Amino acid sequence: MGDRRRFGGIMTQASSILVTLFGLLVLTFVIGRVMPMDPVRAIVGEDATREVYENVYRQLGLDRPMWEQFIFYLRDMLTGNFGTSVRTGQPVIEDILHVMPATIELATFAILVGAGLGIPLGVLAAVKKDRWPDHVIRIFSLLGHSMPIFWTGMIGLLIFYAALGWVGGSGRMSQFYIGMVPVRTNFLLIDSALAGQWDVFRSAIDHIILPASLLGYSSAAYITRMTRSFMLDQMTQEYVTTARVKGLSQRQTIWLHVFGNIRVQLVTIVALAYGSLLEGAVLIETVFAWPGFGQYLTSNLRIGDMNAVMTCVLIVGLIFIGLNLLSDILYRVFDPRTR
């Protein structure tokens, strides 16, 4: 009976993922057709003749019925054919594989800052509810939610780079080091460490600290608020009173019992925050001239490069599907009751 239930659960989850993927493909196709941009004009330019325009229009299959266009689109996506970027002339998937590591580095540093600050601050705010630490932490969270990230990015550059010189400026490293590191993974920190180029490694650290910290602060505000809410909900449960009656200290009760019961919820919160950082770093990458996924999407959106835009939207959806699947797996690790 147990094996049958497990198999049924796996099949249900697989079916849910397939339905979600199909819905995502439908969504990206519809976005590509309803956006007020002309993909043909983006290819042929404004000065192209009508004959050239119509030839390209037919080559793209835009003269076919909508259902037929979707079948061809579905076939291309399933075979890994994401088209060619108008802006770069390269296959879109190659462009994305080139720029995505920069965003992953930035988002990973940011989520380490966000979770490293947000979780302990949320726990402290719950324990000190309605006292001055709670008020200070809630103001900290409110500011993180309220301040636009592009504004904090510009202020951060003015103060910490231009005025104090504590961090690097725009880009992933100083201009002096460009081209000095052999590209193996496109992760600059990993490539520079593998090559033994420690000057480049330090320059990369100097340049990633500020944008990652600002993104991490925004993420920490959300994680803090959610952690505080989860903790307060659990602290009203009867098992907390029972633990204290048995002689456990407040520290033991909070960290062993209360925090242990919110770990599963925090997994989802941190995973979703990480996904948001991966797809939502557009503004911070623009401010810091960070050559990542967000800047790639923005650049192609401006010129109407629909192959690139639709692929970026699809990848963002796949990221969230993957993170949700990872959350389900971690649920089973942290909470035996869900196995």
User: For 34-68, how does the pLDDT look when each residue is reduced to its tens digit (9 = 90+)?
Assistant: 766 667 766 666 666 777 777 877 777 777 778 78
Per DSSP, helices labelled H in the chain are 2-34, 39-44, 50-59, 66-78, 92-127, 132-146, 149-156, 188-194, 198-235, 238-245, 250-252, 259-279, 282-287, 293-303, 306-334
3 confidence band (pLDDT: 50, 70, 90): low
pLDDT at 136: 93
Name the residue among 92, 87, 95, 96 with its Cα closest to residue 303. Answer: 87
Residue 169 corresponds to which amino acid?
Answer: G
pLDDT tens across 64-82, in order? 778 788 888 888 887 878 8
Q: How far is CA 48 from the centre of its chain?
A: 39
Inter-residue contact 27 to 321 (CB < 8 Å): no
Inter-residue contact 140 to 224 (CB < 8 Å): yes
Q: List where CATH 1.10.3720.10 sits in the chain.
A: 92-338
CATH number of 92-338: 1.10.3720.10
Residue 174 corresponds to which amino acid?
Answer: S
Residue 89 corresponds to which amino acid?
Answer: G
Which residues lie below 8 Å from residue 10, measured CB to CB, with a gap of 6+? none
91 phi/psi in degrees, rounded to 5? -55, 135
CB atoms under 10 Å from CB of 172, counted, come to 24
Rounded CA-CA distance 171/173 in Å is 6
State yes or no: pLDDT of 165 exceeds 80: yes
Give, in degrees to the nearest 5, the angle at Cα 207 between 204 and 305: 95
pLDDT at 125: 92
Of the ranges 128-137, 156-165, 253-262, which one carries the lowest mean pLDDT score?
253-262
Taking the model in full, what pTM does it have? 0.82
pLDDT at 228: 92
